[in-house]
Amino acid sequence: MSRAFEDRHGRRPRKLRVSLTDRCNFRCGYCMPEQPQWAPKDQLLTADERLRLIRLFVERAGVRSIRLTGGEPLLAPELDGLIARLRGDPLTAKLRLSITTNAQLLHRRLPGLVAAGLDDINVSLDALEPARFDAMTRTRHRLPAVLRGVEAACEAGIPVKINAVIVRGQNEDQILPMLRWAMDRDLVLRFIEFMPLEGGALWRRERVFSEAELIDHVTGEFGAPVSLGADGPASYYALPDGGRFGVIPTVTRPFCGDCDRMRLTATGALYTCLFASRGTELRELLRGGVDDEALVAHLAAASRAKPDGYAQTGAVERPITMHGLGG
Ligand code: SAM
Ligand code: SF4
């Protein structure tokens, strides 16, 4: 594989997150404003434009896995079709294909996703207590549908991971109930440190419930966990009674040195880092008739210029928040 995509730290893209829409049926406070401005429909990439970019990333950069995200990817009608097309194309047939979802529509969409060839699902769930859930997502009465979706995915034999963002003062009381719930169901649960990516409305350093605090909190109830090491961005821990959990400590222990991800927004901007202040705009190039070689040159240049990451740059201010970026 060409080294054209390698940055000065030797990092190359292996994982691509593709946002299918900036729209969402939830309004999580750590992710978006309560009244977001959605991108106009004609600014969203088409399925063909996304496929073209994915194929080039696979063929030229060596990307091996694709995570379809949003906004809420289950709101995107093209989701099943995109997965099926990736599975049906010899170049992309063997990719690991995943989604990250809030799972409200999962129960309904699951059969189509399984038939299309989805490999696994990350479900974002920050609370099990209904009032807490409603407050975190700024919705009402949606928790039962989310839990039904998780159950359906488990019954269908699709690997499910649960991701919970912990915001001090909002849902740290959910840590232990969620851990018990996940262990009872043999689900992988990862706690995510609250990152400064929501436009500055909510994030404060003191609202980050750190990895160290999480470990302390869990130790008080279950005994001291043993470190199992890292897998991607998550560090995993084993509890004395055999249960496990993970932590994604982006803020207190950034893993930028090993980052092999990039993100394509729903409107066609390529972000090589969550903490970059701007992305490389690809939509107008695509619509202007750019040929593959010129397009690859843009992708490779962006990849080589990958920023050092949160460890160096810290919080970022930019017009786009997590729902637009494709978290
Ligand atoms: N709507 C889908 C979902 O919630 O899973 C996919 C998009 S969402 C932007 C992807 C992930 O980003 C979710 O797991 C969410 O919890 C996480 N996320 C959003 N804002 C965050 C923040 N400020 N800090 C940490 N994680 C965040
Ligand atoms: Fe929507 Fe996901 Fe953001 Fe929540 S985290 S508002 S579900 S995009």
Local confidence pLDDT in tens for the 327 residues of the chain: 568 999 999 999 999 999 999 999 999 999 999 999 999 999 999 999 999 999 999 999 999 999 999 999 999 999 999 999 999 999 999 999 999 999 999 999 999 999 999 999 999 999 999 999 999 999 999 999 999 999 999 999 999 999 999 999 999 999 999 999 999 999 999 999 999 887 778 899 999 999 999 999 999 999 999 999 999 999 999 999 999 999 999 999 988 888 999 999 999 999 999 888 889 999 999 999 999 999 999 999 999 999 887 766 666 666 667 777 776
What does the block give as tokens for 6? 């390698």
Nearest residue CA, atom 4 of ligand 2?
Answer: 28
Structural domain tally of the chain?
A: 1
Phi–psi pair at 45, nearest 5 degrees: -65, 150
Q: Which helix (H) or strand (E) holds 58?
A: none
Amino acid sitting at position 119? D
Q: pTM of the entire structure?
A: 0.96
CATH number, position 114: 3.20.20.70
Q: How many alpha carbons lie under 13 Å from residue 242 in its C-beta half-sphere? A: 3
Nearest to 106 by CA among 75, 60, 81, 71: 75
Nearest to 37 by CA among 316, 281, 266, 324: 324
Residue 295 Cα to ligand 2 middle (Å): 31
- Measured CA to CA, the distance from residue 225 to residue 74 in angstroms comes to 35
DSSP 45: P
Residue 3 lies in a domain: no
Residue 193 Cα to ligand 1 middle (Å): 11
- Measured CA to CA, the distance from residue 278 to residue 319 in angstroms comes to 9
Residue 45 contacts residue 283 (beta carbons within 8 Å) = yes
pLDDT score of 325: 77
From the alpha carbon of 164, which atom of ligand 1 is closest?
Answer: 16
Q: Which residues contact 150 (CB under 8 A, 6 or more apart)?
A: 103, 106, 123, 125, 160, 162, 187
pLDDT score of 52: 98
Q: Hey, which of 320, 321, 322 would you mutate to test ligand 1's pocket, going by the most ligand atoms within 8 Å of its Cβ?
A: 322
Q: Kindly state if the Cβ of 23 falls inside 6 Å of ligand 2.
A: no
Residue 212 Cα to ligand 2 middle (Å): 26
Buried b vs exposed e over 159-187: b needs ≥16 C-beta within 10 Å? ebbbbbbbbeebbbebbeebbebbbeeeb
Residue 292 lies in a domain: yes
Residue 63 Cα to ligand 1 middle (Å): 22
Q: Kindly state if the Cβ of 72 falls inside 6 Å of ligand 2.
A: yes
Nearest to 11 by CA among 58, 62, 49: 62
Amino acid sitting at position 162? I
What is the domain range of residue 74? 9-322
By the 10 Å C-beta count (0-12 exposed, 13-18 middle, 19+ buried), 4 is classed as middle
Residue 231 Cα to ligand 2 middle (Å): 24
pLDDT score of 201: 80
Binding-site residues, ligand 1, Cβ < 6 A: 24, 30-31, 69-70, 72, 100-102, 124, 163, 165, 192, 194-195, 197-198, 322-323, 327
pLDDT score of 102: 98
Q: Kindly state if the Cβ of 55 falls inside 6 Å of ligand 2.
A: no
Q: Which helix (H) or strand (E) holds 112?
A: helix 106-116
What does the block give as tokens for 5? 């995509």
Residue 78 lies in a domain: yes
Q: Kindly state if the Cβ of 165 falls inside 6 Å of ligand 2.
A: no
Q: Kindly state if the Cβ of 167 falls inside 6 Å of ligand 2.
A: no
Residue 145 Cα to ligand 2 middle (Å): 15
Residue 320 Cα to ligand 2 middle (Å): 14
Ligand nearest to the CA of 28: 2
